[in-house]
Amino acid sequence: MTEPRLCSADRSSRAELRRRKLIDTARNLFIERGFHATGVAQIARESGIAVGQMYRDFASKEDVVAALVEEDCATFLRADALKKAISNGDSDHMMTWLLSLLEPHTDREGKRLFAEILAESARNERIAAIFTSLQLELRATILAALAQLAPDPKLEKQRSLLADMVLTFSLGILHYELMVPDLGVQAVVEEMQNFMVERVKTLSKA
């Protein structure tokens, strides 16, 4: 009775390894050549996986991008840790999480990939939809943290504005660093973080 389950688990493991290899290969190609210049056949060839096998996991290049961006977003959001902090009422952890969204991005290749996908979203409606969905998810997560830190229902408008400020600043820092990589932004980041701390304190006392 155990043998079929072992075979099924083995197939699942192989499929996950194949999927992982395809995503990693696509990431490297998108960074090196750009999204627009990278095709499904090239991803398959560079990964050593047949095109037919690739289509078992991803119906299109956009599906690869969706998996890649969602994976990066999940890592960036650390949603499980934030949900635990919210359920425990851990305001310090929630504030630390919010401030981390304002930090400069240290992974230059990751920044290049993000900029590449963002540029492609201006040409590709499906990529735009993926990007918009993830932005909305991030905004909702920021609002969930702010609602715990400053829960008064009358502050909904202020929380919404603060969430938009965080998103705008985070995206702005990313693009600024890409355009002027040697520019020191830490002083600007610290000023924004100080503003955030003081603003949340003010709202929490309202």
Average pLDDT (178-190) is 79
Average pLDDT (153-175) is 90
Average pLDDT (31-42) is 87
pLDDT tens-digit profile of 47-70?
999 998 898 889 888 888 888 877
pLDDT at 196 over 90: yes
Round the average pLDDT of the chain to a whole number and report it.
Answer: 83
CA atoms within 13 A on the CB side of 62: 11
User: DSSP labels for 121-157?
Assistant: HTT-HHHHHHHHHHHHHHHHHHHHHHHHHS--GGGHH
pLDDT at 10 over 60: yes
Residue 3's pLDDT band (cuts 50, 70, 90)? very low
pLDDT at 9 over 80: no
Q: How many CB atoms lie within 10 A of CB 70?
A: 14
Residue pair 88/186 in contact by the 8 Å Cβ criterion: no
Q: Look at 131 and 11; give whichever has higher pLDDT.
A: 131
Average pLDDT (95-116) is 80
Alpha helices in the chain (DSSP H): 2-33, 40-47, 51-57, 61-77, 79-88, 91-100, 108-121, 125-149, 156-179, 186-204
Which residue is listed with tokens 């037919």?
Answer: 52
Q: Which domains does the chain have, with CATH numbers?
A: 1-59 (1.10.10.60), 61-204 (1.10.357)
Residue 114's pLDDT band (cuts 50, 70, 90)? confident
Residue 11's pLDDT band (cuts 50, 70, 90)? low
Exposure b/e, 172-184, CB count within 10 A at least 16 = b: ebbeebeeeeeee
pLDDT tens-digit profile of 129-155?
877 887 888 889 889 899 999 999 999
